[in-house]
Structure 1
Amino acid sequence: MIVKQSRGTCQAFTLVELLVVIAIVGILIALLLPAIQAAREAGRNTECKNKIRQIALAFHNFESAYGHFAGDGWGYRWVGDPDREARERQPGGWLYRILPFIEEEAITQLGRDGDPNRITPQQRAGLAEATRHHLTWFNCPTRRGARLVKLTSEYSFINMDNGGESATSSYDANWGAGPIQYITGPQTDRMDTADRMALTSPTPQPDGVVYVMSSIKTSQITDGLSKTYLVGDVFYWITDNTENPNGRGSHSQLSCYLVNSSNFPPLRDMLFDGNITRPVDRWGSAHPSTWNMAFCDASVRAMSYDIDPYLHAQFGSRNDGTILIDAEYWR
Structure 2
Amino acid sequence: MPLQSLRRRSDANRRGFTLIELLVVIAIIAVLIALLLPAVQSAREAARRAQCVNNLKQIGLALHNYASAQSEAFPWAMGPGSYNGWSAHPMFLPQMEQQALYNSINFANTGAAMWTGNPPNTTSFRIQVAAFLCPSDTDRLTNADGHCNYMMCAGATADEFYYYNTNSANSPQALTGVGRSFGSPYMSKSIPHVKLSMIVDGTSNTAAFSEQVLGVGDDDYALWDSMKPTSANGDASSTKPAYPPNPQADYNVCNSKAPTATSSVKLWSHGYQWYAGAPNIGAYCHVMPPNTWSCTYANNGFAVTASSRHPGVVNVCMADGSVKAVKNSVALNVWWALASMGGGEVISADAL
TM over 0.5: yes
1:95 to 76, 89, 92: 89
How far has the Cα of 1:11 moved from its partner? Answer: 2.8
Distance in 2 (alpha carbons) for counterparts of 1:18 and 1:35: 26
Q: Deviations over 1:239-279 (max 9, x none)?
A: 4567426546156321213111111111168xx9xx988x7
How far has the Cα of 1:146 moved from its partner? Answer: 7.0
Q: Aligned with 1:322: secondary structure?
A: coil
Q: Which residue of 1 aligns with 2:268?
A: 249
Distance in 2 (alpha carbons) for counterparts of 1:225 and 1:111: 31
Q: Deviations over 1:153-206 (max 9, x none)?
A: xxxxxxxxxxxx42221111110111145549xxxxxxxxxxxxxxx9787641
Conserved? CA contact 2:57–2:321, under 8 Å? yes
Which amino acid in 2 is paired with 1:283?
A: A
Root mean square deviation, CA, Å: 3.2
Q: Aligned with 2:154: secondary structure?
A: strand
Q: Which residue of 1 aligns with 2:152?
A: 173
Q: Aligned with 1:211: secondary structure?
A: coil
Q: Which residue of 2 aligns with 1:310?
A: 333
Distance in 2 (alpha carbons) for counterparts of 1:306 and 1:317: 19
Are the structure 2 counterparts of residues 201 and 215 from structure 1 closer, same or farther at C-alpha, using a change threshold of 3 Å? Answer: farther
Would you say 1:70 and 2:75 are equivalent positions?
A: yes
1:128 to 108, 122, 130: 122
Are the structure 2 counterparts of residues 166 and 263 from structure 1 closer, same or farther at C-alpha, using a change threshold of 3 Å? Answer: same
Distance in 1 (alpha carbons) for counterparts of 2:26 and 2:133: 40
Would you say 1:211 and 2:180 are equivalent positions?
A: yes
Q: Deviations over 1:105-158 (max 9, x none)?
A: 222222549x777989xx931312211111111100000147443xxxxxxxxx
Distance in 2 (alpha carbons) for counterparts of 1:2 and 1:166: 85
Which amino acid in 2 is paired with 1:39?
A: A
Conserved? CA contact 1:221–1:318, under 8 Å? yes
Conserved? CA contact 1:268–1:287, under 8 Å? no
Distance in 1 (alpha carbons) for counterparts of 2:56 and 2:82: 23
Q: Which residue of 2 aligns with 1:161?
A: none
Conserved? CA contact 2:285–2:305, under 8 Å? yes
Conserved? CA contact 1:74–1:92, under 8 Å? yes
Distance in 2 (alpha carbons) for counterparts of 1:77 and 1:129: 21
Conserved? CA contact 2:147–2:273, under 8 Å? yes
Would you say 1:18 and 2:19 are equivalent positions?
A: no
Q: Aligned with 2:315: secondary structure?
A: strand
Q: Which residue of 2 aligns with 1:284?
A: 307
Which amino acid in 1 is paired with 2:26?
A: I
Q: Aligned with 2:92: secondary structure?
A: helix
Are the structure 2 counterparts of residues 13 and 130 from structure 1 closer, same or farther at C-alpha, using a change threshold of 3 Å? Answer: same
Are the structure 2 counterparts of residues 59 and 148 from structure 1 closer, same or farther at C-alpha, using a change threshold of 3 Å? Answer: farther
Conserved? CA contact 1:75–1:256, under 8 Å? no
Would you say 1:298 and 2:317 are equivalent positions?
A: no
Aligned length: 278
Alignment of 1:1-331 (within 5 A): 2-4=2-4, 5-6=6-7, 8-9=10-11, 10-67=14-71, 68-72=73-77, 73-74=79-80, 77-78=83-84, 92-112=86-106, 124-145=118-139, 147-149=141-143, 165-183=144-162, 205-213=174-182, 215-236=193-214, 239=216, 243-244=221-222, 246-247=231-232, 249-250=268-269, 252-257=273-278, 258-267=282-291, 281-324=304-347, 326-330=348-352
Distance in 1 (alpha carbons) for counterparts of 2:29 and 2:129: 42
Q: Which residue of 2 aligns with 1:87?
A: none
Any gaps of 5 or more consecutive residues in structure 1? 79-90, 150-164, 185-199
Conserved? CA contact 1:201–1:212, under 8 Å? no
Distance in 1 (alpha carbons) for counterparts of 2:146 and 2:310: 21
Conserved? CA contact 1:267–1:285, under 8 Å? yes
Distance in 2 (alpha carbons) for counterparts of 1:3 and 1:128: 87
Distance in 2 (alpha carbons) for counterparts of 1:304 and 1:276: 24
Distance in 2 (alpha carbons) for counterparts of 1:202 and 1:130: 35
Conserved? CA contact 1:226–1:299, under 8 Å? yes
Are the structure 2 counterparts of residues 236 and 116 from structure 1 closer, same or farther at C-alpha, using a change threshold of 3 Å? Answer: closer
Q: Which residue of 2 aligns with 1:88?
A: none
Conserved? CA contact 1:262–1:282, under 8 Å? yes
Q: Aligned with 2:209: secondary structure?
A: strand
Conserved? CA contact 1:74–1:256, under 8 Å? no
Distance in 2 (alpha carbons) for counterparts of 1:76 and 1:288: 39
Distance in 2 (alpha carbons) for counterparts of 1:288 and 1:268: 13
